[in-house]
Structure 1
Amino acid sequence: MKILIILGHPDPGSLNHAIAHAVRDDMVNAGHEVLLRDLYMEGFNPVLSAEEIPENGNVPAEIQAHCNDLSSADGIVIVHPNWWGQPPAILKGWIDRVFRPGLTYRFEEGDNGEGVPIGLLRAKAAVVLNTSNTEETREQTVFGDPLDAIWRRCIFDLCGVRSFHRRIFTAVVTSTREQRVAWIEEAKVLCRGAFKEKSLNNLLDHTH
């Protein structure tokens, strides 16, 4: 399987980097073809231009490369911190520029955008791994867990990804080394389960 990992954290020494690289290595060892994109390291430009917005817009070559990676992936892993209930700006810009109309979704003929889009992504499973300093129950009861709504309902559901998995690792600021090691192992186990061939084949068998 082709697995695309998107990493959105500026610090190479962060837990996010450790998680992303550990998952990458584990997926490679499991026989998957894995591409890890570190958005900060590659200097990804998150600013969407007006020329890119239309479906037939002018898409720069470096953005088209990201589009090709996304459209060819069988599975997707997103790794980023919870910053103010949102992904880092660089990752939001990646969504804006790469989740393009005609590539990740389309509307029925005659629908000018007011309806529910048809998901086009090939990937049938996605995993989102978040780090945070907010206790998980507080994140859900006080803030409504906005990252779950963003990734699950606003993005992957609408783009045709039928199997969604997410884990929040918190609170990082008070965690011990043993806890962080355990979190990394948990991330690997979650991704192994999400990208089992049998599970994905069952999803494909029931796709209309």
Structure 2
Amino acid sequence: MRVSVILGHPEPGSFNFAIAEAAVEALTQNGHGVSFHDLYAERFDPILPGPEIPKGAALDPAIKSHCDEIAAADGIVIVHPNWWGQPPAILKGWVDRVIRPGVAYEFVEGDGGEGVPVGLLRARCALVFNTSNTPEEREREAFGDPLETLWKRCIFGLCGVNDVRRRTFSVVVTSTPEERRGWLAEVRETVGARFPAES
């Protein structure tokens, strides 16, 4: 299988980076082809220019490469912190520029864009790993878990990926080394279960 791993965190030594590394390690050990993108390290440009919006628009070669890769992926792993109930801007910009019409979704003939799109992504499973410094109970009571809606219903659900699993690790800022080791073991186990070794 081909699996894309997308990381959106500005610090190379962050726990998010460790999560992404653990995911890549588990995928590689199971024999899968992995494309790993650290968006900050790559200096991914998140700004969507107007001429790039329409389906079939000419794309910057770097963006086209991302589009081709995500269209061909059998699985997707997203890693990012919870910032104000959202992904960091660089990752939102990746969604804006890569999860685009003709690549991830399209509208049926006669639909000018007001209807429900038809998903085009071939990936059948997506994993989203988040970190947070808000206790899970407070997050759900106060905010209703907007990241669950964003990734499961607003993005992947509309692009044809029906099996979306999300896990938030919190509270990271007060976590112990033992807790973090346990969380990374859980990442490896989750990734291994969703993307088992190919026979």
Q: Please give the TM-score of this superposition, normalised by the length of structure 2.
A: 0.97
Asked whether the 8 Å contact 1:165–1:194 carries over to 2, the reply is no
Given that 1:104 and 1:121 are in contact with CA atoms closer than 8 Å, whether structure 2 keeps it comes out as yes
Q: Percent identity?
A: 56
Root-mean-square deviation (CA, aligned residues, Å) is 1.1
Query: How many angstroms does 1:144 deviate by?
Result: 0.7
| Unaligned segments of structure 2, at least 5 residues | none
Contact 2:119-2:159 at 8 Å conserved across structures: yes
Q: How far does residue 56 in structure 1 lie from its aligned partner after superposition?
A: 1.6
Q: Where does the alignment leave 5 or more consecutive residues of structure 1 unmatched?
A: 199-208
Deviation at 1:196, TM superposition (A): 3.5
Can you list the C-alpha shifts for 1:139-198, whole angstroms capped at 9, x where unaligned?
111101011111000000000001111100000011000000111111111111222479
CA separation in 2, counterparts of 1:157 and 1:111? Answer: 19
3-state SS of paired residue (1:95) = helix
Matches of 2:166 and 2:196 in 1, distance apart?
A: 16
Question: Is this contact kept in 2: 1:3–1:75, CA < 8 A?
Answer: yes
**TM-score, normalised by the number of residues in structure 1:** 0.93
Decide whether the 8 Å contact of 2:124 with 2:163 is kept in 1: yes
- SS at the partner of 1:164? strand
Aligned residues: 198
How far apart in 1 are the matches of 2:74 and 2:196? 11
Aligned-pair CA distance for 1:102: 0.9
Residue 14 (structure 1) aligns with: 14
Higher relative contact order by CA 8 Å / sep ≥ 6: 1 or 2?
Answer: 2
CA distance in structure 2 between the aligned counterparts of 1:155 and 1:114, rounded to whole angstroms: 16
Query: Matches of 1:28 and 1:157 in 2, distance apart?
Result: 27
Runs ≥4 residues deviating over 6 A: none
Match in the other structure for 1:162: 162
Q: Does 1:28 align with 2:34?
A: no
Q: Which residue of 1 is the match for residue 105 of structure 2?
A: 105
For the pair 1:129 / 2:129, whether they are aligned, the reply is: yes
